[in-house]
Amino acid sequence: MSSEFLVHPVTRFEPDAGASLRSLIEALARTGGQPRRLAAALALWDRMIERGRVIFCSVAGAPVPLGFGPAIASLVDQRRIDVLDITGAQLTHDLLEVIGSSHFQGRVDADDRALARADVNRFWDTFGDEADYRRVEPMIFEFAEALPDRPLTTREYIYRMGMFFSKIGSQAGILTAAAAHRIPVYCPAIGDSVLGMDLGFLRAERGKRVVFDVVQDVLEMSAIVLLAEELELRTATAIFGGGAPRNHIQQSQIGSYMFSTRSKGHAEAVRFSIEPAETGGLSGSTISEGISWKKFDPQVESAEVFLDSNLSLALAASLLATRGPADCFDFRHEDDGTLTVLYGGAAYNLSEKYHF
All structural domains of the chain with their residue ranges: 18-354
Nearest to 77 by CA among 2, 4, 175, 3: 175
Can you tell me the distance from the alpha carbon of 21 to that of 316, in angstroms, rounded to the nearest whole number?
11
What does the pLDDT look like over 78-123, one tens digit per residue?
999 999 999 999 999 999 999 999 999 999 999 999 999 999 999 9
Nearest to 104 by CA among 85, 124, 127, 82: 127
The DSSP secondary-structure symbol of 186 reads E
Can you tell me the distance from the alpha carbon of 207 to that of 203, in angstroms, rounded to the nearest whole number?
4
Can you tell me the distance from the alpha carbon of 261 to that of 253, in angstroms, rounded to the nearest whole number?
11
Could you give the 3-state DSSP secondary structure of residue 123?
A: strand
| Residue 41 buriedness (CB in 10 A; 0-12 / 13-18 / 19+) | buried
* DSSP-derived pairing of the beta strands 235-240 and 54-59: parallel
Stretch 321-329: mean pLDDT: 92
User: Are 111 and 75 a contacting pair, CB within 8 Å?
Assistant: no
Nearest to 174 by CA among 69, 85, 81: 69
Alpha helices by DSSP H, 231-285: 243-254
The CB-based long-range contact list for 206-211 (8 Å cut-off, 24+ gap) reads 206/141, 206/145, 208/141, 208/144, 208/145, 210/144, 210/147, 210/152, 210/157, 211/151, 211/152
Label residue 137 by pLDDT band (50, 70, 90). very high
Stretch 28-40: mean pLDDT: 97
Stretch 326-341: mean pLDDT: 96
| pTM, full prediction | 0.96
Could you give the 3-state DSSP secondary structure of residue 243?
A: helix
Stretch 300-312: mean pLDDT: 96
Residue 270 has pLDDT above 70, yes or no: yes
Nearest to 294 by CA among 265, 267, 323, 318: 265
Residues shown for the chain: 356
Nearest to 51 by CA among 82, 23, 72, 73: 82
The pLDDT assigned to 280 comes to 87
From residue 26, alpha-carbon distances to 75, 203, 307 in Å are 21, 53, 17
Label residue 3 by pLDDT band (50, 70, 90). confident
Amino acid occupying residue 307: L
* DSSP-derived pairing of the beta strands 54-59 and 83-86: parallel
What does the pLDDT look like over 339-353, one tens digit per residue?
999 999 999 999 999
Amino acid occupying residue 166: S
Can you tell me the distance from the alpha carbon of 165 to that of 180, in angstroms, rounded to the nearest whole number?
11
Max CA distance (Å), the chain: 76
Label residue 35 by pLDDT band (50, 70, 90). very high
User: Are 166 and 180 a contacting pair, CB within 8 Å?
Assistant: yes
Can you tell me the distance from the alpha carbon of 13 to that of 198, in angstroms, rounded to the nearest whole number?
51
* DSSP-derived pairing of the beta strands 54-59 and 103-105: unpaired
Residue 355 has pLDDT above 70, yes or no: yes
Which contiguous run of DSSP H or E holds residue 341?
strand 339-343
Across the chain, mean pLDDT equals 96
Can you tell me the distance from the alpha carbon of 330 to that of 342, in angstroms, rounded to the nearest whole number?
5
Residue 1 has pLDDT above 80, yes or no: no
Label residue 4 by pLDDT band (50, 70, 90). confident
Query: For the domain 18-354, what is the CATH code?
Result: 3.40.910.10
Alpha helices by DSSP H, the chain: 21-28, 33-50, 69-77, 88-98, 112-117, 131-145, 154-168, 174-181, 194-206, 214-230, 243-254, 287-292, 309-319, 350-354
